[in-house]
Amino acid sequence: MSDMSSIAAIADIDARLSAGYTFPARWYWDPRIHRLELDAIWASWWHYACGTDMVPFVRRNGEFVFEVTAGESGPVATCNGQPAAAEVWQGLVFVNADASARSFRETYPALIRLTADHPYDREGCERTPDSPAVPIAANWKIWVENSSECYHCPTIHQHSFSDIYDVAHGVYRYIDDGPVLCQLTEPTPGSERFGQAKQEYRYWYLFPSTFLQIDDYYVSASLVYPTGPESCVSTGESWLRPDAPAEGAAAFDEMWSMTAAEDVAAVAIQQPSMRCGLVPHGRLMPSSESAIAHFHRLCFEALRPHLA
């Protein structure tokens, strides 16, 4: 794809990523990069589809429409009418448009390892009412980057997430292992508005689209998918834990909806700066933004064979 190699300058991007820079700004708005990401990443990686308690289910994932139905030995899936792969892990159905793809468990061994010590358990959980999909005015990678670091938490989420969870350097932990980016932290002493969390907060991002989370009240699974070069959608489900405290869920709901709204606003401000041309490459802070560097490497390696 010579057209791509000229705009991508592969060796230059490779060297810059290794030196702690971000992708070129145009990778956040160029329609050719968007097309390549759909063909080279979205069409061959695993995506969260639904809970096993939601089957049969149709999951729209941008231009990929996954239909999940009950088969004799578990859920089966199609993508845009063609056979697709489906696999169940912890009560969640994951799908892959590539029917011959490597299994989910082989793709994300770090998830299996990490959840042995930091469980993600949906057993006995009760699904909460649907919340609407959230349109985001930014490239999907900006959304993932925002979710992959918490150095913005003390400022942007000062009165929401950071009021309940400790976001201090040294307490807030990042574990980046292959296509799994994990974040763990402990509760703060609590706030008057939201009450006090008791348990570890756990988060996993599974490249490219899936987010898993567990807190005192909820087990949740969500996905992000591109709807264009400069827009994406976040959607997903939450289940109430059987051991959730009897009170306080409404305050937690408020904390999470504030946190999400703050992130949606933050990335919408970032997106236009990608087009202005003033900063052709961003520079990452090695200590607090290593997860973003890890994510960029995952994207780049997935695209590299298609850029030559």
Of 21 and 151, the one with the shorter C-beta distance to Fe ion is: 151
- Of the candidates 67, 98, 99, 70, the residue with the CA atom closest to the CA atom of residue 80: 67
Question: 225 exposed, middle or buried (CB, 10 Å; 0-12, 13-18, 19+)?
Answer: buried
Minimum distance, C-beta of residue 27 to Fe ion, in the bound complex (Å) = 21
Nearer to Fe ion, 54 or 266 (CB): 266
> Least CB distance from residue 97 to Fe ion, whole Å?
29
- Say if CB 239 and CB 220 are below 8 A apart: yes
28 or 161: CB nearest Fe ion: 161
Can you give the C-alpha Rg of the chain in angstroms?
19
Residue 56 Cβ vs Fe ion, minimum distance, rounded to whole Å? 34
Query: In the stretch 260-289, what mask flags binding to Fe ion with x, by CB under 5 A?
Result: ---x--------------------------
Q: Which is nearer to Fe ion, 96 or 148 (CB)?
A: 148
Q: How far apart are CA 22 and CA 19, in angstroms?
A: 9
Regarding 216 and contact with Fe ion (CB under 5 A), the answer is no
Q: Which residue is nearest to Fe ion (CB)?
A: 263
Minimum gap (Å) between residue 283 Cβ and Fe ion: 20
Q: Which stretch binds Fe ion (CB under 5 A): 66-74, 247-255, 259-267, 296-304?
A: 259-267
- Region of 2-10, 94-102, 256-264, 283-291 interacting with Fe ion (CB under 5 A): 256-264
What dihedral angle (degrees, nearest 10) is formed by the CA atoms of 300, 16, 108, 30? -30
290-307 and 140-148 are packed helices; what angle lies between their axes, rounded to 10 degrees?
150
CB-based contact 185:197 (threshold 8 Å): no
Nearer of residues 230 and 263 to Fe ion, judged by Cβ? 263
- Minimal CA–CA distance to 118: which of 97, 143, 90? 90
Pattern 51-70, Fe ion, x by CB under 5 A? --------------------
Which lies closer to Fe ion via its Cβ, residue 40 or residue 268? 268
> Shortest gap between Cβ of 167 and Fe ion (angstroms)?
10
Closest CA to 184 of 274, 58, 291: 291
User: In the complex, what is the shortest distance from the CB of residue 35 to Fe ion, in angstroms, rounded to a whole number?
Assistant: 28
Handedness of CA 308, 178, 59, 82 (dihedral sign): positive
Residues contacting residue 235 through CB under 8 Å, at least 6 positions apart: 133, 134, 222, 223
* Between 94 and 203, CB nearer to Fe ion: 203
Considering the complex, what minimum distance in angstroms separates the CB of residue 146 from Fe ion? 5
Q: Which residue has the tokens 């990452």?
A: 284
Number of residues in contact with Fe ion under rule CB under 5 A = 1
**Closer residue to Fe ion (CB): 96 or 220:** 220
Interface positions with Fe ion (CB under 5 A): 263
